[in-house]
Amino acid sequence: MNGSKICQGLSECEVKWQLTYPYPVEDPSINLICYAQSGIYGDVVLKLQGPHAERRTEVAALQLFAERQVCKLHAVDEKMAALLLEMIMPGGNLKSYPDKREQLEIGAELVAKLPIQVNLTFGLPSCQTWISNALNKILPRFSSDPRLIKLINTADEIFNDISPPGSPQYLLHGDLHHENILQSHHQGWKIIDPHEVIGLPFMESARFIQNHIMGENQELDFDQLDETISCFAWRLEQPKSLISRALFIVHALSTCWDLEMNSSQDQIETQIFECEYILEFLIRY
């Protein structure tokens, strides 16, 4: 968003929702995020959305997730691409919680409870869409590495095997990891920033597992892999083989997305190795 549109949008929101003391938050995304006080809703978060694909689908997802432990959408102005959200206090994220085992149990419980079965896709992307985009758009433009091409083709095959035609449709968060789970004084843990995707419920586990076993060096700690997958398999009442396959698919896709975002070649090489390791790991099941 350019500066004049930001100022205009912020001013209109201040009037419409009786906002005072809007305070911009540092955010690496293309959205403008502000903390503020509303004369109507109390403490709020104002989100002025940038020109991205999730602009309308985020509103649909927040409305559909209204009965779940997801940040409440107070109001929306489509013309200004503005969302007014509840402010979750104290707002510490799950990553800051001291006990890593409890992080895992809390995350698994939220992942189990969040997906909603839907009859319509509401124009939202699907997990299959993600894979098709990786194969047909990202790889042809950014990479000719035969290892990565093989991994994404394998991810496509595995996905088709575990998600046969006619499978029920579920709304998923799509990016449910520790930093998107915040602590509320009165409502326990609440989820923010849905990336909204249609898929089967077990696919929701992969992004959390990926984040949970990632070390400070941004590499996966495979010593934690079996315990983490076992926890989700038990909580979701699914075989470990299914959870492992979901993780492989999402980590392979993440490698493509990081490639698109100009990550270093060393990072891409590391992630290709990690995908190959996960592929070998899931064969055990």
Fill in the amino acid letter for 174: G
Q: In the beta sheet, which residues pair with residue 116? A: 171
Tokens at residue 279, please?
């592929």
Confidence bin at 28 (pLDDT 50/70/90) = low
With 70 as the cut, is the pLDDT of residue 225 above it? yes
Domain ranges of the chain: 3-87, 93-283
Neighbouring CB atoms inside 10 A of 142's CB total 15
pLDDT digits (tens, 9 = 90+) for 92-107: 999 999 999 999 999 9
pLDDT digits (tens, 9 = 90+) for 194-204: 988 999 999 99
- Sorted by sequence, the CB contacts under 8 Å of residue 87 that are 6+ apart come out as 35, 42, 43, 44, 45
Same CATH topology for 3-87 and 93-283: the answer is: no
Query: How is domain 3-87 classified at the CATH fold level?
Result: Phosphorylase Kinase; domain 1 (3.30.200)
Class of the CATH domain delimited by 93-283: alpha beta
Per the prediction, the chain carries an average pLDDT of: 92
